[in-house]
Structure 1
């Protein structure tokens, strides 16, 4: 009932009461009755107001109760849903932080690497394949020249696979096997080697400790079978050299008491500027050290030992330039000794800076009564943006004073020399970065690796080299050596497809000046041209 209707009814009732009483009461009491009626009407209005307030309160309370019930129902539904999800997730392993004892697998430069979570222990798989295809145009000067022909074809120059890594942060190790067809060796003269100096076997098996850091630099104490960082060219990885083969002068030098596959123990120290190292060396992995049960052509020898030392550094450097200088020394202290005849011999030789055919064109033959040998060399290199210049020169001394009872007795020492100079320019603008740990320059990392799917064309580089090696000494004497003199000019085009793949194209022009013997001037030299291509992948 509305307030207006209630008021109207109350007035009507009051009027009826007033009319009926008007007849029974006197006029004096009319005013009192009207006042009473007004008072009753006021009480009725107050009750009406209270009733409406109570009704509104009840309506609000009901709405609140309904809302609370609805909210409670939703909350209960959400709780039940969470319970269902929790039960479902209980059966699914949740990925959390890696435990310290766990491992982390990464692929730096596409090399599969497994490390503990604290990166204190790692092991990685490493591999490289260098597959060469090429041909020669070989022109012997006379019918007496040996050889009369060089064979064209193909050769798996290197095919290595192995593991490298570290233990307890400071211990480094490597175990690498080479299945390749040829390696740098004594040109077929080394006992136990395959024809042409080929070696297939353990190329690296060493351990190195790098926890020492004296004089503000880093230090490594290492030993085993390893690539000794002797000379600038040898300290540069075969994956990063500008040409398919290193220059003959460096190859002949390192084969005396350094080089690949060499047993050794030594140390090196370096910082961002200087590098110094010294190693005591032994025989290579292919040498035979027993005369028991072997064919006469492969009779064993006593183990040789020697030493090498190198000091080098980046004496000038800036944002896009550097200058490198260094000096090297090598000593053959105990030459290999034939266990049957007692002969102590040394052969210096090399192939024509290509390994498609294993034949050597310059060779001293087996130098008799060798009591020791020394090699001293200097090295220099510089970079300016995409340009790199590099060269080395070597002086050889071979002592022939061993007391073997074999001729020639009391022959004077022999002296040889050789070197190379080379330059490279990266057409796409990349540069060769300096590697302080080996005091050498690294390969090219293409800024835009080759890709037909919106990528670039890799990095392109041109290079040229002149090398010379003279193995003639004391000609016109019976005790002289006519090993020949070889000059080779090489042009190269290198395509770095990406960080792991490279194609190399080399053109070589060479001349060999050689006489039949130290006392015969009959010409047995030759000339050659060669074209070869290498397909290289490595990680």
Structure 2
């Protein structure tokens, strides 16, 4: 959906902030203002084996992420301005540039305050950077129900073995301003074991979101539609729940996390759910995944205690690090009118095997094979089966 040109675009807002920062730098004493440039390139491909039940997915390649970031200090504050330029390959205009982090933050003795647009505190899988994820795609729950980048104010406290983060946020973002509503949520983690090569992680996330009139007055309908076999598998998307009658809709989300590292082996699992209610009908989405991995070359998955998540892999040898991983992922959505049986009950199950080559700490190649199945439980009918071979070349700085 293209943005209304009467409102500032993400590029306009980011450019104004960058100009303000540049002016401040020019008039500041050395050390008052700093600026560092960063970025990432993720180039993906997908090849599909489709059955005859649904529309076929088309083999394709894409620049998935082409991001640039400016971050630094500003008179005792920290700032970040980050945008994704990948959509310029399809629409070469400023409207195609997507804003990610556009924020300022301040550290205090008790924690860190962040104001602006940033990724909310919700689920382990979503909090891990796309630069460090074991698989090309996040779990079905994280990719569809995590709040992602939203405008708001957040707080994060971290101790030796715990993190507590929370935020109040709008359901709007700089780019997706048509979504109206407000929300609050938080995440807590505890890592009683967090040595190099020996990690035990537990976590809990929760959020409450209030959507204003989805499906009416320009607001899009609220639909949960995962991609079963990667970002290029649009033809296999399945609607799990849909709320678009124009009635205000409340959503409660929770997620429980577990992860562990023992030498070159690692496991990660989450159970999540979401409950929808618009006063006339209700819906629920339940999801779970479990993943295991092994570094053939002996490395260990590094743990970030300050964020309660996993971080960048550093190869032990010049030939790089090799990693194998396997994940089973399932998500199910049910919807019904008040006092009536479910009129929709569908699910997706996907198994993914991954081979990753970390040539350098900031350069890696990923290859995933995914087998997915869409199923209608009311009709006891398989709607779609898709197998996909997907890969990525990735570089960040």
TM-score tier (shorter) = 0.7 to 0.9
1:234 lines up with 2:126 in the alignment:
yes
Q: How far apart in 2 are the matches of 1:171 and 1:467?
A: 40
1:237–1:442 CA contact under 8 A, matched in 2: yes
1:494 lines up with 2:390 in the alignment:
no
* Unaligned runs of at least 5 residues, structure 1: 1-115, 142-146, 183-193, 290-300, 402-409, 449-455
1:351–1:360 CA contact under 8 A, matched in 2: yes
- 1:415 deviates by 2.0
Normalised TM-score (structure 2): 0.84
Q: How far apart in 1 are the matches of 2:212 and 2:260?
A: 36
* Unaligned runs of at least 5 residues, structure 2: 1-27
Normalised TM-score (structure 1): 0.63
SS class of match (1:284): coil
SS class of match (1:359): helix
Aligned counterpart, 2:257? 379
Kindly indicate whether structure 1 or structure 2 has the higher relative contact order, using CA contacts under 8 Å at least 6 residues apart: 2
1:204 lines up with 2:101 in the alignment:
yes
Q: How far apart in 2 are the matches of 1:157 and 1:425?
A: 26
Map of 1:100-119 to 2, 5 A cutoff?
none
1:265 lines up with 2:162 in the alignment:
no
CA deviation digits over 1:350-382, x for unaligned, max 9? 111411243352213532434201011100101
Instruction: Give me the CA root mean square deviation.
Output: 2.6
Q: How far apart in 1 are the matches of 2:383 and 2:216?
A: 35
In terms of Rg, which structure is larger?
1
SS class of match (2:222): coil
Q: Aligned in 2, Cα 1:353/1:165: closer, same or farther, shift over 3 Å?
A: farther
Map of 1:168-207 to 2, 5 A cutoff?
168=75, 170-181=76-87, 200-207=97-104
Decide which of 156, 164, 181 is 1:304's aligned counterpart.
181
1:335–1:344 CA contact under 8 A, matched in 2: no
Q: How far apart in 2 are the matches of 1:421 and 1:264?
A: 31
Q: How far apart in 1 are the matches of 2:277 and 2:96?
A: 27
Aligned residues: 361
Decide which of 370, 381, 385 is 1:523's aligned counterpart.
381
2:211–2:248 CA contact under 8 A, matched in 1: no
Aligned counterpart, 1:347? 223
Decide which of 296, 313, 337 is 1:427's aligned counterpart.
296
1:345–1:370 CA contact under 8 A, matched in 2: no
Aligned counterpart, 1:77? none
CA deviation digits over 1:32-88, x for unaligned, max 9? xxxxxxxxxxxxxxxxxxxxxxxxxxxxxxxxxxxxxxxxxxxxxxxxxxxxxxxxx
1:155–1:355 CA contact under 8 A, matched in 2: no
1:383–1:432 CA contact under 8 A, matched in 2: yes
Structure whose residues are more often helix by fraction: 1
2:249–2:277 CA contact under 8 A, matched in 1: yes
1:417 lines up with 2:283 in the alignment:
no
